[in-house]
Amino acid sequence: MDQEKIMKTATRKISRLRSLGIVTVGAATLVAGITAYKKQDQLFRTFIMPTVRLLPAETSHQLAVLACKYRLCPVSQYQDDPNLHTPFFGRMLSNPIGIAAGFDKNAEAVDGLQDLGFGFIEVGTVTPAAQEGNPRPRVFRLNEDKAIINRYGFNSEGHQAVLQRLQRLRSKEDFNGVVGVNLGRNKSTMSPIADYVQGVRVFGPVADYLVINVSSPNTKGLRDMQSKDKLRELLEQVNDTRSNLEKNKNVPVFLKLSPDLSEDDMKDVVWVIKRKKSSVDGLIVSNTTVSRDNIVAIKMTEEAGGLSGPPLKARSTEMIAQMYHLTDGKVPIIGVGGVASGYDAYEKIEAGASYVQLYTALVYDGPGLVEDIKEELSKLITELGHNNVADVVGTKNKFYLPKK
């Protein structure tokens, strides 16, 4: 009897050990698999990105955000060259390449985006109350142009959900990333200015910079807020609110502009931001365009929304040059629109941008693009005889302002 008991206990123990072994080997294989897979940039370029692109555009976007959220994307092994280090309002960015607004609208993917090697991350656009945005489909790939048309219309989980995520991020001891929050307004708001003011109040204390986004083409009436009187009133209230913050009173405020502004519109914007009460700390040039120039995929020109990627590149660079000139090179510019290589980034910087962002190229070229851009940019800076990014800013602006 006793012997039977001993045999049973021994069998149970062996079976438990065997299960434990299977679980351990399985877990180890999984970890090894993920680690190997995370280092396979080539796998992304040749297999994962083309496969993901077979899915509807919004589904691939959601998957990409999830991959970053759960840190399944490759972790960049590239060490930023010191010539990429760039000062940013009292901080030092490891490199000047950021992810533009619209990819991580709800601040879910910040850690994963850092893993890819971005020097700074902009989340949003965030609206005060949660809202659905426009009906689907609302994102379209223009494969021949490597471009995108989107009319998301500020789909957002709202201020509180995003705030909680950012607070959690800030409480992590090992997190030291630079995170900007792009602010918008609700579609049905009665008081657009109040929406932005609320954004400043809510996110001022947790953001490294704020963006006043009055340039998305997918919310009716939004871009009218770039007009002289409306912009002045908006920015005065934004600045008032910021100066009353208890924490982080000096959080830099950027204004994001549409590439569809005329030269007179741009002059009006500059008139407003040169006034102390309605000044801004920086500009983002530019948002998507409603123009359909430079498109090969003509079938898609009928789709309403903002166009991004290569067809926007020249216009956004031209506008950077114009704004750099109109502001006497005194207002830092984040240059964005069609950047897909280190050379494109260099062009934006030469035109007057101090920092560069991208979004659309990531959709076509995958996460390894960030390293490639940094490597090429760093090489160009050295080969063309400059010490760092700051030395290049505005050097090929046709209105070049020599540094004193």
Ligand X SMILES: Cc1cc2nc3c(=O)[nH]c(=O)nc-3n(C[C@H](O)[C@H](O)[C@H](O)COP(=O)(O)O)c2cc1C
Task: Find the angle CA(174)-CA(179)-CA(181) to the nearest 5 degrees.
Answer: 145
E runs forming strands in 30-136:
86-88, 91-93, 97-99, 120-126
179: three-class secondary structure by DSSP:
strand
Q: What's the closest the beta carbon of residue 61 comes to ligand X, in angstroms? A: 7
* Structure letter (DSSP) for residue 230: H
Q: What's the closest the beta carbon of residue 357 comes to ligand X, in angstroms? A: 7
Among 96, 102, 119, 133, binds ligand X (CB under 6 A): 102
Q: Which is nearer to ligand X, 151 or 232 (CB)?
A: 151
Q: Are 388 and 381 a contacting pair, CB within 8 Å?
A: yes
Measure the CA–CA gap between 133 and 71, rounded to whole angstroms: 27
Among 68, 73, 101, 235, binds ligand X (CB under 6 A): 101
Measure the CA–CA gap between 27 and 25, rounded to whole angstroms: 6
Site for ligand X in 243-272 (CB under 6 A): 256
Residue-level length of the chain:
404
Nearest residue (beta carbon) to ligand X: 102
Among 94, 213, 258, 327, binds ligand X (CB under 6 A): 213
Q: Which of 60, 215, 216, 378 is catalytic?
A: 216
Does the active-site annotation cover 216? Answer: yes
Q: Are 271 and 279 a contacting pair, CB within 8 Å?
A: no
Residue window 28-57: x/- pattern of binding to ligand X, with contact defined by CB under 6 A: ------------------------------
Tokens representing residue 263 in the block: 């030269």
319 scored as a contact of ligand X (CB under 6 A): no
Site for ligand X in 168-187 (CB under 6 A): 182
The owner of tokens 């918008």 is 184
Candidate ranges 29-37, 85-93, 95-103, 321-329; the one touching ligand X (CB under 6 A): 95-103
Measure the CA–CA gap between 145 and 248, rounded to whole angstroms: 42
**Kind and range of the H or E element at 67?**
helix 57-69
Q: Are 355 and 96 a contacting pair, CB within 8 Å?
A: yes
Segments in 332-368 forming alpha helices (H): 342-351, 360-365
What are the residues whose beta carbons fall under 8 Å from the beta carbon of 95, sequence distance 6 or more?
80, 84, 85, 86, 117, 118, 119, 374
Q: Which is nearer to ligand X, 204 or 338 (CB)?
A: 338
Q: What's the closest the beta carbon of residue 53 comes to ligand X, in angstroms? A: 14
Q: What's the closest the beta carbon of residue 70 comes to ligand X, in angstroms? A: 21
288 scored as a contact of ligand X (CB under 6 A): yes
Among 308, 317, 322, 378, binds ligand X (CB under 6 A): 308
Among 359, 364, 365, 373, binds ligand X (CB under 6 A): 359
CA dihedral 352, 104, 366, 208 (to 10 degrees): 40
The owner of tokens 């009353």 is 244
Measure the CA–CA gap between 229 and 78, rounded to whole angstroms: 47
Q: What's the closest the beta carbon of residue 210 comes to ligand X, in angstroms? A: 12
Among 83, 360, 378, 388, binds ligand X (CB under 6 A): 360
Q: What's the closest the beta carbon of residue 370 comes to ligand X, in angstroms? A: 12
Q: Which is nearer to ligand X, 125 or 189 (CB)?
A: 125
Among 216, 258, 322, 378, binds ligand X (CB under 6 A): 216
198 scored as a contact of ligand X (CB under 6 A): no
Among 162, 202, 269, 312, binds ligand X (CB under 6 A): 312
Candidate ranges 37-45, 168-176, 202-210, 336-344; the one touching ligand X (CB under 6 A): 336-344
Among 76, 95, 150, 378, binds ligand X (CB under 6 A): 150
CA dihedral 72, 76, 77, 81 (to 10 degrees): -170
Q: What's the closest the beta carbon of residue 155 comes to ligand X, in angstroms? A: 8
Q: Which is nearer to ligand X, 125 or 278 (CB)?
A: 125
Q: What's the closest the beta carbon of residue 43 comes to ligand X, in angstroms? A: 24
Q: Are 388 and 82 a contacting pair, CB within 8 Å?
A: yes
Tokens representing residue 172 in the block: 């992590």
Measure the CA–CA gap between 116 and 228, rounded to whole angstroms: 39
Active-site amino acid positions: 216
Judged by the rule CB under 6 A, the positions of this chain that interact with ligand X are: 100-102, 105, 125, 139, 148, 150, 152, 182, 213, 216, 256, 287-288, 308-309, 312, 336-339, 358-361
